[in-house]
Amino acid sequence: MKWRLQEGRGEAVYQIGVEDNGLLVGLAEEEMRASLKTLHRMAEKVGADITVLREREVDYDSDTPRKITEVLVRKVPDNQQFLDLRVAVLGNVDSGKSTLLGVLTQGELDNGRGRARLNLFRHLHEIQSGRTSSISFEILGFNSKGEVVNYSDSRTAEEICESSSKMITFIDLAGHHKYLHTTIFGLTSYCPDCALLLVSANTGIAGTTREHLGLALALKVPFFIVVSKVDLCAKTTVERTVRQLERVLKQPGCHKVPMLVTSEDDAVTAAQQFAQSPNITPIFTLSSVSGESLDLLKVFLNILPPLTNSKEQEELMQQLTEFQVDEIYTVPEVGTVVGGTLSSGICREGDQLVVGPTDDGCFLELRVCSIQRNRSACRVLRAGQAATLALGDFDRSLLRKGMVMVSPEMNPTICSVFEAEIVLLFHATTFRRGFQVTVHVGNVRQTAVVEKIHAKLLINCYEGRLQSP
């Protein structure tokens, strides 16, 4: 059990009543009770909790009824406060992204006029227009028994963190075409484990839905689909939208296997298969107003395991420290604060790092004064985790988005010319020498000029000379 929890980064699913060769033999009721008791004692020894996910009867050559039980075993690793999963939320404008996140994180259904999304908006013009233009973060917790922990029973984010053993961080991205560059930045910079693509049942695949789907495929981000607003239209309209999605997912460019989730049993199977195969794409149909099928999405998110294995995590942690700067703030009595993701290594309070490159290509020394994750204090930051770092009285004007904070041992160097292999998905005009483009690499967003094109079959390779923004 210790090994399985380590491999699953704190989570493991046990199937009781299945032989080693996969034969479904099941257990009688008394045997099942004894097996669950044994599993509970094992879990107690390693400091884990168990939750029965589902039970089902099997046909086996026996007079007594026999069952198979699936059990989720969860233990927060000793070096972590909680298990963490980042989910980017994509979809066309007015598909209900912010409303769905408001319902999940606040614990209250929407009134049909957008009340649930008001707590998520960061700017006045977003409240007035009802459209997201910036990137915001929302958290949803699950305790060790798989119960939802959100703002309905916790007043602050710190309380949610303390009560949760698993934390889902939703990255709410913009749906309007005008803010597409912000959506691309969110997908490339914040390294989401997976994406949630929201499609409105009454409009189907419209607007930026195809572009967002293409971005997820191009960046190799696994995604699942949620069809929202099912309360607004007839059952036949919902079925037509689902069929339309299935056709798109099966096309040669996608090569996905759609899986419609209609029951709790489907949700458990979908979560397990989604983690094992990147081709499986679960589809949920729900309503943020009536709450229809909302519980199925919560079951799926609760069971969904981390999509990177422990070996990859260990390898990243052994590398030198590299922190990507995505946000810069000035906090009274704290000083300059930067937010972002630690892409490799380990960062501790008091570490001496260098930040850059500045306009003249230099890297400046600084010290990490304190660290916060999900609005609560944290002493150690590990590869793949997002956090905010306080830098004390470091001059904010020297910092900008897209910089990196690295270990001085890395001896960082900069480049102004690079070669890249590109796939031209869609372009309205001719892509030629001298063409100006915006390059998104991780948290770096930079204008560049195409200097040379080496023609290839289907794939072009170009050199880009970076210009100052």
Q: How many residues does the chain have?
A: 469
> Rounded CA gap, 138 and 224, in Å?
18
Tell me the two tokens of residue 238.
């919902």
Is residue 5 pLDDT above 60, yes or no? Answer: yes
Nearest of 386, 395, 384, 286 to residue 326 by alpha carbon: 386
Total number of domains in the chain: 3
For the entire predicted model, the pTM comes to 0.82
Sign for the pseudo-dihedral over CA of 48, 53, 59, 63: positive
Are 194 and 60 members of one domain? no
Are 27 and 166 members of one domain? no
Give the contacts of 36 (CB within 8 A, at least 6 positions apart).
16, 50, 52, 69, 71
Are 354 and 272 members of one domain? no
pLDDT of residue 458: 44
In eight-state DSSP terms, residue 18 is B
Domain of residue 323: give its range: 312-406
The pairing of strands 83-91 and 166-172 is parallel
Residue 305 has, within 13 A of its CA and on its CB side, a CA count of 26
CATH number, domain containing residue 374: 2.40.30.10
pLDDT of residue 310: 67
CB 57 within 8 A of CB 65: yes
Are 102 and 222 members of one domain? yes
Are 44 and 119 members of one domain? no
Are 66 and 27 members of one domain? yes
> Rounded CA gap, 383 and 430, in Å?
41
Are 191 and 244 members of one domain? yes
Q: What pLDDT digit, counting tens, does each position of 282-333 carry?
A: 999 999 899 889 999 999 999 998 777 667 778 888 899 999 998 898 999 8
Identity of residue 316: L
Q: Token pair 């199925």 is at which residue?
A: 296
For residue 149, being part of any structural domain is answered with yes
Listing DSSP states for 249-308 in one string gives HTSTTT--EEEEE-SHHHHHHHHHHHHH-TTEEEEEE--TTT-TTHHHHHHHHHHPPPSS
The pairing of strands 417-422 and 346-348 is unpaired
Q: What pLDDT digit, counting tens, does each position of 60-112 carry?
A: 777 788 899 999 998 876 666 678 889 999 999 888 888 898 899 888 888 77
Q: Token pair 């937010």 is at which residue?
A: 339
> Rounded CA gap, 168 and 291, in Å?
20
Are 89 and 199 members of one domain? yes
pLDDT of residue 263: 93
Are 131 and 276 members of one domain? yes
Q: What pLDDT digit, counting tens, does each position of 247-288 carry?
A: 999 988 888 999 999 999 999 999 989 988 888 999 999 998
CATH number, domain containing residue 139: 3.40.50.300
